[in-house]
Structure 1
Amino acid sequence: MRILRVIASMNPEHGGPCQGIRNSIPALQQLGVENEVVCFDSPNAGYLGMDGFAIHAIGPAKGPYAYCAALQPWLIENFARFDAVIIHGLWLYNSYGTYKAWKAFKKNNSKFPKLFVMPHGMLDPYFQKAKERRVKAIRNWIFWKLFENKVVNMSSGVLFTCQEELLLARQPFTPYSPNAELNVGYGIPNPVAFSQEMLTAFYEKCPQVANKPYIVFLSRIHPKKGVDLLISAYNSLYKNNKTIPALVIAGPGLDTDYGKQLKATAGDNIYFPGMLGGNSKWGAFYGSEAFILPSHQENFGIAVVEAMAAGKAVIISDQVNIWREIKDGKGGIIVKDTQEGALSGLEQWVNLTPDQKTAMGVNAQNTYKKFFSIEQAALNLKTIFEQQING
């Protein structure tokens, strides 16, 4: 089986969907499923050549819609090589542009690949309700009426990372009637075993917490992630308790207006090492007491699962779609996506005994193995695609 992934960008700094692709392809290769990716990055992009699978960079794209004139000709020429095509994400040209090319290809070819859409949480009602997204919500509604409804409803099926995402996707738009709603799951590879080099790499990025207890936030520095709530909650708690673990806020986005504002409001014992990757990322996880993410919306949360895989308890909001599995597995603390919720999560954590913290970390790792291993997710996808293609 050969699968083509179509995504606007595979730049590792964008995280999310492109990291999910990087996680799943090696596991699928072990099952005999070959994958290629086409994206709108420049052929000169610095990250190219670092992955063990083919990435066809046919950009750069133009404008906020990421229009790429090379997409449809490339697809028409290459569709016949694949059994299935997955559109990753909505609202950009890779979505409707791929559907339009697929529709044209079907008219002239009796054999054509199945077309699937993986929204990666982009059909979550949050994006249509959040006050700060009013303009984008209107844009999405217009896009839906004009063409995205065709992509979702006329493709072979829609792929979801968990049951919660599948259910939420039914709410914000009409008409919504996919040919198939498929919960294929999601996962990450087993983490690299801990080594001292990981801590060394992290401490080089964040020397202030060397050999000190800390809680880590690792994600994009963006309003959706609730970082402002976290900082306010931490400042409040630290004011009355100077012995609590430090707070490390790691990720890209510090150079944005929002990031600069966060740094200006952060009090003592909060540190910003920037984007972490490789050894420094895993050093941040392994060296931490716990991971925290009070996000307003999180379709899956790769960083959440990475922390769990490293044996760390997680403190997350109930807007992270995998919160039920974590709660049932007793692998973390679940709170509301408010400042009070973030404060409650921090307070609950610091009031646990060392043995309770250790036990919660063990539970988190067991929950990862049960629900979120990449091997299980790859097998799910392969099985479902075989049924769809052969059925």
Structure 2
Amino acid sequence: MTKMRILQIVPSISLVYGGPSQMVLGLSKALANQGVDVTILTTDSNGDFGQPPLDVPLDKPVSQDGYQVRYFRCSPFRRYKFSLDLLRWLWQHAGEFDLAHIHALFSPVSTAAATVARKRNLPYILRPLGTLDPADLQKKRRLKQVYVGLWEGANLAGAAGIHFTSEQEAKISQRFGTNAPDIVIPLGVTPPEDVETLHGESLRQGGFCTNDIINGETKVPKPAPTDVLENVSTQSPILLFMSRIDPKKGLDLLIPALETLLAEGLGFQFILAGANPQDPEYERQIQQQIQASPLSSQTTITGFVEGEVKAALLQGADLFVLPSYYENFGIAVAEAMVAATPVVISDQVHICPEVKAVEAGWVCGCDVASLTQTLREALRDAGEQKRRGVNARDYALEHYSWDAIAQTMIEAYQTITDT
């Protein structure tokens, strides 16, 4: 039987862009493990504000984990992650593939790639990454209206399917009058190797170290896995926020909620992990707000984390919190769940129905009062934290494993290519 040949097209797979980009790597590896021939087309973009590009071969196949990556030079305007060379390659080689899975809308290279695929009669699936959420569409609204009128409307209409990562995302997403079929498949997560470790042990007994708090505008150094997180109390619950530092993530709700709980005498340690390569100014504002707050003595800011450091944080925390205003899935939530850490999320994080159904954590309204009350309840009951953490892990291992998701995705691909 001939191998299915699939293109994954994404603006960047650099670690600095977080979950949406990294998901493509996890999916590609899982697809390759099940016999699919996968090629990722992407750019060498590695951040939007002066960071050097990825040090990778350009326009050459790079083999890893059973699939190939082809990097192309990003335009000088790195924030837009555009590559004319990538589009030329796609135009020339589109006929060699069965289907393209295109990740991101309203992104120049993804939009143009969908247009090329349509012109070259290559079936394609679009994954919007939450960009069709009515709340997200309000950002740069006029520019997006132009996009829809000139390109994205036709791309949506011509898609063989739209890949949503939750039923709620599919339900609320704007389609602009198009009717491409929905493909609802969640994202996958890779369990940490020591996921069975006693909850909290790895962090409390020496997971990593960072500065206690930011020093003015000095950038926080990269964490070192072999050091000890000196200022985390072994007696207080550890509350972890790990996501991109972005206005949509609800930090304007979380910070006042934590200040209220601290004023009430409720003990906890807060770890803020994440960065924002696309908006470093907002990241600095959050750092300065915490520095000027009573929370400063209870807070550790790590900056961007990955690998062993990330695993230690996820496994060591007592609660994971993400009160986003909108989140099409919440890959960080699933990562916390598979690490047996119960979650506190807003009802705008679209993984929330599953969290509620299996009691994998707590779900609150998207406002300060509701978040405060929910955190108050969660922080006061260590036994309930552990119970819900076990529920979270068991559900995530069953439903968010890459093997299961790859099989479902292959079935979706096969349905499209057969028709």
TM-score by length of 2: 0.84
Cα deviations by residue, 1:220-278 (Å, 9 ceiling, x for unpaired): 1111101122111111110121x522110101139822222222222230220111110
Cα displacement (A) at 1:183 = 1.3
Matches within 5 A, 1:75-90: 75-90=90-105
In structure 1, the residue matched to 2:49 is none
**Contact 2:56/2:71, CA 8 A, preserved across alignment:** no
Contact persistence 1:24–1:188 (CA under 8 A): no
**Offset at 1:197?**
7.0
- Counterpart in the other structure of 1:103: 118
How well do the aligned residues superpose, as a CA RMSD in angstroms? 2.3
Fraction of identical pairs, as percent: 26
Alignment of 1:1-391 (within 5 A): 1-41=4-44, 45-46=54-55, 51-52=64-65, 53-63=67-77, 64-106=79-121, 113-129=122-138, 133=139, 136-169=140-173, 171=174, 173-178=175-180, 180-194=181-195, 200-203=206-209, 205=223, 206-209=229-232, 211=234, 213-241=237-265, 243-253=266-276, 256-266=280-290, 267=295, 268-352=297-381, 354-391=382-419
Provide the C-alpha distance between the structure 2 equivalents of 1:389 and 1:128, rounded to a whole number of angstroms. 31
Alpha-carbon offset, residue 28 of structure 1? 1.3
- Partner amino acid for 1:351? R
Deviations 1:157-208 (A, max 9, x none): 2111121111111x3x522222x22113321122221577776342453432
Comparing 289-298 and 266-275, the one that deviates more? 266-275
Instruction: Tell me whether 148-157 or 208-217 shows the greater mean CA deviation.
Output: 208-217
Letter in 1 for 2:75: A
How far off is 1:94 after superposition?
2.1
Distance across 1 between alignment mates of 2:264 and 2:256: 13
Find the counterpart in structure 1 of residue 215 from structure 2. Answer: none
* Cα-to-partner distance string for 1:305-327 (whole Å, 9 max, x where unaligned): 11100111000001111100110
Residue in 1 that maps onto 2:50: none
Instruction: Give, in whole Å, the separation in 2 of the partners of 1:149 and 1:9.
Output: 23
Secondary structure (helix, strand or coil) at the match of 1:70 reads helix
Q: Distance in 2 between matches of 1:335 and 1:50?
A: 44
- Cα contact 1:42–1:60 (8 A) shared by 2: yes
Contact residue 38 and residue 57 of structure 1 kept, 8 A: yes
Shift of 1:289: 0.5
Displaced runs of 4 or more, over 6 A:
47-50, 195-198
* Residues 94-142 of structure 1: CA deviation (Å, up to 9, x unaligned): 2331123223323xxxxxx42111112111111134xxx3xx0121122
Kindly tell me: are residues 189 and 34 of structure 1, through their superposed partners in 2, closer, same or farther at Cα, counting changes over 3 Å?
Answer: farther
Distance 2:414 2:300 in 1: 48
Pairwise CA distance, 1:27: 1.5
SS in 1 for 2:312: helix
Give the Å deviation of 1:356: 1.6
Once residues 249 and 230 of structure 2 are traced to their aligned partners in structure 1, the CA distance between those partners, rounded to angstroms, is 25
Alpha-carbon distance in 2 for matches of 1:320, 1:27: 25
The secondary structure found in structure 1 opposite 2:120 is helix
Q: Distance in 2 between matches of 1:225 and 1:28?
A: 31
Segments of structure 2 that go 5 or more residues without pairing to the other structure are 47-52, 211-222, 224-228
Range that drifts further, 63-72 or 142-151: 63-72
Q: Which amino acid aligns with 2:32?
A: Q
Contact 2:118–2:155 (Cα < 8 Å) also in 1: no
Shift of 1:35: 1.4
CA change 1:70–1:257 in 2 (3 A) is same
Amino acid at match of 1:118: R
**For structure 1, which runs of at least 5 residues remain unmatched after alignment?**
107-112
Q: Whole-Å Cα distance in 2 between the matches of residues 125 and 377 of structure 1?
A: 27
Considering fraction of residues, name the structure with more helix.
1
In 2, Cα distance between equivalents of 1:85 and 1:203: 42
Q: Could you tell me which residue of structure 1 aligns to residue 214 of structure 2?
A: none
Aligned residue pairs total 375
Distance 1:57 1:240 in 2: 52
> Relative to 1, partners in 2 of residues 1:28 and 1:210: Cα closer, same or farther, differing over 3 Å?
farther
Does the CA contact (< 8 Å) of 1:203 and 1:210 recur in 2?
no
